[in-house]
Amino acid sequence: MAAPAADEAWCRETVPRVMELVSPRLTQRDVCALLAVSPWCYRALVANPRLWEVLDMREMKNAGDRLISALSLARYRHLKVLNLEFAQNIEDWHFVHLKEMSGISLENLEFLNLNACQKISDKGIEAITSLCPNLQGLSIYWIVGLTDLSIGHITKNCRQIVDLNLSGCKKISDKGMSLIANSYQGLKKLNITRCVKLTDGGLKEVLQRCSLLESLNLYALSSFTDKVYKDIGLLSNLTFLDLCGAQNLTDDGLVCISRCGGLTYLNLTWCVRVTDAGVIAIAQGCRSLELLSLFGIVAVTDACLEALSKSCSNSLRTLDVNGCVGIKRRSRDDLLKLFPLLSCFKVHS
């Protein structure tokens, strides 16, 4: 009789303790697999609320049905992060169904990733955001059918957004930017990569009203001009700026951007109108740069690197000057003499 009693004590006392120590180091999918090992494992894992604050359904098949099943379980009532990136078989009706189900609440959700969920439309965005009043971060990368209606739903339903990724949402216009500017003065991160309908006016509204921005991604947007690039200089907290492909950016715009003294990441790839004058202004104003790409800028010369070495030699770790034919001393050895901490010499392959 002693052995069964000892086994029961081990299961009751030791298993929960082991699960408490081990489970935080496992992926969520591994934790879910452990639920089936034994009733003791199941109870120990379900009793740990921190294990169920994240629901990772990235790349899952039949994700819509699985999501409904998962959110019906009590253990996900305090969910903080929901990742549906590249999830398959998830459509508007799944989100509408969640909205209509009694007892479903995502009021604790802080971050929602819907990247590349191509079957989601404005209707689905309205439904899911209505369940997430305290959402702080939303990523809807490459859901190309979304329009300004989605931005309206997001700004109406989720008033606390500080991180917004709209990359690849090609139908969003200046109207959407105006909604963002008027709703999210506390916005810290904005990615509008390839939002090709935007003009200077839409971005200007955001820059003038969202003054706390720390990260701004304008990758592959060639239509903006110095009229709006100059306003980037208003962002005193900015640390990350991607201007890859900014074909209308000139030295005048860069001089204003150089006021962002906290920049650590600056991508100027294919900013073909930039010359030494603009880069020297950046060198003088942005002395904490860790990454700088000048890839493909033919008008810059060794003079801009000399200026950069005087201010950024102790911080710069990534420098891409490939294709900068005006820079004659651009071998790895030459660059290491100016920037001894360099470990990466190519941002774009």
DSSP codes of every residue in 122-173: HHHHHHHHTT-TT--EEE-TT-TT--HHHHHHHHHH-TT--EEE-TT-TT--
> Quick one: tokens of 228?
């709006």
d(Cα 217, Cα 282) in Å, to the nearest integer? 18
d(Cα 317, Cα 92) in Å, to the nearest integer? 44
d(Cα 85, Cα 99) in Å, to the nearest integer? 20
- Helix/strand number for the chain, H first, E second: 15, 11
The pLDDT of residue 6 is 60
The pLDDT of residue 1 is 44
Beta strands in the chain (DSSP E): 54-56, 81-83, 111-113, 137-139, 163-165, 189-191, 215-217, 240-242, 265-267, 291-293, 318-320
Give me the residues paired with residue 88 across strands.
Answer: none
The pLDDT of residue 5 is 61
Q: Which residues of the chain have pLDDT under 50?
A: 1
d(Cα 160, Cα 132) in Å, to the nearest integer? 10
Query: 149, 174 in Cβ contact below 8 A?
Result: no
Of 220, 270, 210, 260, the C-alpha closest to 240 is: 260
Half-sphere exposure of 142 (CA within 13 A, CB side): 7
pTM: 0.93
